[in-house]
Amino acid sequence: MIVPIKQIIAKAKEKKYAVGAFNTSNLEITLAIVRAAVAEKSPVIIQSSESAIKYSNLETLFNMMTTIANTIGKSVPIAIHLDHGHDLNLVKQCINIGYNSVHMDASDKDFATNVRLSKQAVKLAHSKKIWVQAELGSILGKEGLVKLETGEINMKDLMTDPYQAEDFVARTGIDTLAISVGTIHGQFRGIEKVDQRRLKKINSLVKIPLVLHGGSGLSSKIFKEAIKNGVSVINIDTNLRVAFKKALLSQLKKESDLIDPRQILAPSTEAMQKEVVKMIRIFGSRNKA
Ligand code: G3H
Ligand code: 13P
Ligand code: ZN
């Protein structure tokens, strides 16, 4: 059932486990996330990115997420979050339609602009008791990885500065902070690390819950250490995409005569559900509903 996100994240921070924030863009992914949460009696955050919203449209996606959360997911706490909102207008629309939390991501802008946009989002959201996540430092994607590999950019320069983070939180009044501590969006097993010392330092200076982006591909040891060092929310997208595709290819190879999309996609939904269950167990949110 949809609940205020504060209820989910404050409990995770207090009890020292993390809640998974899983990206969705369609019915099958949403079903997988919610079915896994129900099976594990776990709270969960369902999030949609700007491009996921463009893929269908805001009303369709929002109504699908909330309907599934309030019906199939009625026994567990669920919150709906906008992931990486770069456009204040879209942030506004998500606040107005009823998202529980919005990510105002102006991390690619200069510090003053990031502060200004994050504050604006806070003003709009808090009047409706909605939480705001903002971001300091850069969390790269695949293109960024190439630049890292060629030495064009240095990961250390992109990471969140703990003292600047303390200042940023005080100036903006945000509710959760997305930090850059070494992860990259996508699944890069063996390449990604978390700068645990930096994370610990940020956590000692910043009192609001911390969000780890780019969770796919990290080992359970790294996750557990990051949670011990202060992470309360972990974003996962690519792991589910990989599970979806692998199951789809195998199903089409095995049952090449199928034409019913439901039969074609059922193993993908199951595979994503298994992946969410795996993450829930690692994050420690099982039986915390
Ligand atoms: O952090 C990015 C998320 O994985 C969303 O990706 O913009 O392709 O939906 P997307
Ligand atoms: P991954 O795709 O690496 O899991 O990252 C997801 C994410 O951070 C969404 O904001
Ligand atoms: Zn992210």
Q: What is the pLDDT along the chain (289 residues), one digit of tens a residue?
A: 999 999 999 999 999 999 999 999 999 999 999 999 999 999 999 999 999 999 999 999 999 999 999 999 999 999 999 999 999 999 999 999 999 999 999 999 999 999 999 999 999 999 999 999 999 999 988 888 888 888 898 888 999 999 999 999 999 999 999 999 999 999 877 777 899 999 999 999 999 999 999 999 999 999 999 999 999 999 999 999 999 999 999 999 999 999 999 999 999 999 999 999 999 999 999 999 9
Answer for the pair 51, 90: CB distance below 8 angstroms, yes or no.
no
- CA of 48, closest atom in ligand 1: 9
Residue 289 domain flag: no
pLDDT confidence of residue 142: 80
123 part of a folded domain = yes
Is 42 in contact with 280 (CB distance < 8 Å)? yes
Within-domain flag for 248: yes
Q: Which listed residue (83, 105, 195, 237) is catalytic?
A: 83
For ligand 1, atom 8: residue with the closest CA:
51
First to last CA, the chain: 10
Q: Whole-prediction pTM value?
A: 0.98
How many C-beta atoms surround the C-beta of residue 21 within 10 A?
A: 29
Q: Which atom of ligand 1 is nearest to the CA of 213?
A: 1
99 part of a folded domain: yes
Neighbour-count burial for 33-69, b at 16+ CB within 10 Å, e otherwise: bbbbbbebebbbbbbbbbebbeebebeebbebbbebb
CA–CA separation, 72 vs 32, rounded Å?
11
- By most ligand atoms within 8 Å of CB, the mutation choice from 45, 193, 237 for ligand 2 is 237
Nearest atom in ligand 1 to 237's CA: 4
- Whether residue 29 contacts residue 61, with contact meaning beta carbons closer than 8 Å, is answered with no
Angle at 134 between CA 83 and CA 194, to 5 degrees: 85
Q: What is the pLDDT of residue 149?
A: 84
What is the per-residue pLDDT for 187? 82
Q: Whole-angstrom Cα distance, residue 37 to residue 70? A: 13
- Degrees (nearest 5) of the Cα angle 19, 20, 22? 150
Residue 210 included in any domain: yes
Please state, as a whole number, how many other Cβ atoms lie within 10 Å of the Cβ of residue 148.
16
User: Token pair of 89, please?
Assistant: 């207008």
Q: Is residue 266, in this structure, part of any structural domain at all?
A: yes
Tell me if 183 is assigned to some domain.
yes
Range of the domain at 254: 5-283
Print burial letters for 82-112: b (CB count within 10 Å at least 16), e (below 16).
bbbbbebebbbbbbeeebbbbbbbbbeeeee
8 A C-beta contact, residue 78 and residue 43: yes
Q: Which residues surround ligand 3, an ion (CB under 5 A)?
A: 213, 235
Alpha-carbon distance of 59 to 65, in angstroms, equals 10
DSSP of 12-62: HHHHT--EEEEE--SHHHHHHHHHHHHHHT--EEEEEEHHHHHHS-HHHHH
Is residue 288, in this structure, part of any structural domain at all? no
83 has catalytic annotation: yes
The phi, psi pair for 47, rounded to 5°, reads: -130, 150
Query: With helix as H, strand as E and coil as C, how does 191-206 read?
Result: CCCCCHHHHHHHHHHC
Please give the Cα distance from 277 to 285 (Å, whole number). 10
Using the mean position of ligand 1's atoms as its centre, give its distance from the Cα of residue 245 in Å: 16
Number of compact structural domains in the chain = 1
CATH of the domain at 166: 3.20.20.70
Contact 117, 87 (CB under 8 A): no
Instruction: Give the residue whose CA is nearest to atom 4 of ligand 1.
Output: 237
